[in-house]
């Protein structure tokens, strides 16, 4: 665990928000992610499942969390099961959590080793009426792999077929969509690390550097600031590469007169930052680049101004589309005839701005959250309009991370240079 230890109160609050929504006499179970093998005896770096992290802070493989708020025995209302360190593990991998460390991290007093799981879980299950099981019900999820929670769900259904079964995901989408102040503070830390990375790269950027060299500069800055690294696969796209929305090769050279689109954010304490900026390779925007950039910036700022408590996300996206339509008309990229004859399901502006404006942000880059409720205080979104003109080799997107407050918003990433004047002045300094 590279990051500074987070307060156990964060996870205690999260468990309270979740368990108060459970039906009576219910228990809920959450498992860690698998450690994914590659080939031979190698594994990918371990990344914990965000649900067990959200509820316990347990950032270790082979962990299991069981919550049973109505348990007769107080000590069985919150139980964490962990892999026990033995001499071999200690020598080859390093010691795992002790029970005392697990309590300090999670605030959970009852910690068992995994060898006790069947016995303790059975005692809990026979005293419950229903079991909430976890899965992956994210709107963007397309999962072909059987995961650890899938195997756990199969085992529970086979072992306790007479129980009622419920889904944890609808509850998690509700509670995880609105962040506590403690969570927002960790998001601020991720944003602060991300800012340092962008400032380092702005000083390094010049004609002739390679996209992967810029990626390396980000990684250096993130690691020395206790981040595990990128919150998602970074996009560093020079020139026409910016018109590939998920360009991740990062293997071209940056040339005089081009813009480079950076979609890069740091992770801190497993919470994510997601930022996009476009910088001129030589430190100065051309007239055309500035014209299109400022059009995107006006939509960006306009979108942030209307993202307030009470608005529905569908209405928000519609209004942003209307802003973008006016900018594209002014740029001459679409005509009034295009707008008059547009297909309502794919408006004319979509030719140059084909992706969504926002998504929830938190432990996951595309975080949990409901699209069927009004925006409320504590929700965190990205705002990321863009204009992509392949025939000009020009793609521009501007993205910030926005916390919804009672009377408006807090822009977590506002201090990363964004206006033309800010960018050019920083690169000239």
Query: What sign results for the dihedral spanned by CA atoms 224, 226, 229, 232?
Result: negative
Q: Taking each helix axis from N to C terminus, what angle separates 211-224 and 181-204, rounded to the nearest 10 degrees?
A: 140
Q: Using the structure block, give the residue that is written with the tokens 């975080």.
A: 367
Only one residue has tokens 């005839």, namely 337
Query: Which SS3 state, helix, strand or coil, does residue 268 take?
Result: strand
Question: Any residues with CB less than 8 A from the CB of 429 and at least 6 apart, and which?
Answer: none
Element holding 383 (H helix, E strand): strand 380-383
Indicate the SS3 state at residue 360. strand
CA dist., res. 387 & res. 350, Å (int): 9
Tokens matching residue 391: 């025939």
Asked if residue 263 lies in contact with residue 235, where contact means CB atoms within 8 angstroms, the answer is yes
Element (H, E) at 229: strand 229-230
> With the CA atoms of 159, 170, 114 and 1 taken in that order, what torsion angle do they form, in degrees rounded to the nearest 10?
160
Cβ contacts of 167 within 8 Å, gap of 6 or more: 132, 133, 134, 135, 137
Please say whether the beta carbons of 251 and 239 come within 8 A: no
List the one residue out of 319, 300, 313, 303 whose CA is nearest residue 376.
Answer: 313
Helix, strand, or coil here: 420? helix
Please list the active-site residues: 41, 246, 263, 274, 355, 359, 366, 384, 388, 397, 399
Residues 299, 361 contacting (CB under 8 angstroms)? no
CA distances from 293 to 90, 174, 285, 419 (A): 54, 36, 9, 9
Q: How many other β-carbons are positioned within 10 Å of the β-carbon of residue 322?
A: 13
């Amino acid at each position: 665990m590279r990051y500074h230890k987070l307060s156990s109160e964060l996870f205690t609050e999260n468990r309270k928000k979740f368990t108060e929504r459970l039906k009576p006499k219910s228990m809920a179970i959450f498992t860690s992610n698998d450690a994914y093998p590659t080939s031979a005896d190698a594994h990918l770096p371990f990344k914990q499942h965000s649900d067990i992290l959200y509820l316990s802070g347990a950032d270790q493989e082979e962990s299991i969390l069981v919550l049973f708020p109505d348990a007769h025995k107080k000590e069985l209302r919150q139980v964490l099961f962990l892999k026990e360190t033995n001499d071999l593990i200690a020598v080859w991998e390093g010691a795992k959590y002790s029970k005392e460390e697990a309590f300090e991290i999670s605030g959970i007093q009852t910690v068992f080793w995994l060898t006790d799981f069947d016995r303790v879980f059975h005692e809990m299950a026979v005293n419950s009426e229903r079991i909430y099981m976890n899965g992956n019900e994210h709107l963007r999820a397309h999962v072909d792999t059987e995961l650890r929670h899938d195997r756990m769900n199969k085992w529970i259904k086979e072992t306790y077929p007479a129980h009622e079964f419920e889904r944890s995901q609808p509850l998690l989408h509700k509670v995880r969509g609105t962040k506590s102040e403690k969570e927002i503070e960790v998001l601020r830390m991720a944003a602060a690390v991300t800012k340092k990375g962008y400032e380092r790269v702005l000083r390094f950027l010049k004609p002739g550097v390679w996209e992967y060299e810029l990626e390396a500069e980000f990684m250096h800055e993130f690691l020395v600031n206790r981040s595990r690294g990128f919150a998602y696969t970074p996009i560093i796209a020079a020139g026409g590469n910016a018109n590939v929305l998920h360009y991740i090769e990062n293997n071209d050279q940056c040339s005089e007169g081009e813009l480079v689109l950076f979609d890069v954010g740091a992770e801190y304490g497993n919470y994510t930052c997601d930022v996009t900026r476009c910088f001129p390779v030589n430190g100065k925007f051309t007239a055309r680049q500035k014209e299109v950039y400022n059009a995107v910036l006006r939509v960006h700022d306009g979108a942030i101004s209307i993202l307030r408590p009470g608005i529905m996300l569908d209405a928000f996206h519609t209004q942003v589309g209307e802003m973008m339509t006016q900018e594209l008309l002014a740029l001459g990229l679409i005509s009034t005839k295009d707008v008059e004859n547009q297909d309502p399901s794919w408006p004319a502006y979509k030719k140059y701005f084909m992706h969504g404006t926002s998504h929830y942000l938190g432990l996951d880059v595309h975080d949990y959250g409901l699209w069927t409720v009004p925006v409320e205080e504590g929700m965190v979104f990205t705002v990321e309009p863009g204009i992509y003109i392949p025939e000009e080799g020009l793609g521009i997107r501007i993205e910030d991370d926005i916390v919804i407050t009672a009377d408006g918003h807090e822009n977590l990433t506002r201090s990363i240079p964004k206006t033309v004047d800010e960018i050019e002045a920083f690169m000239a300094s």
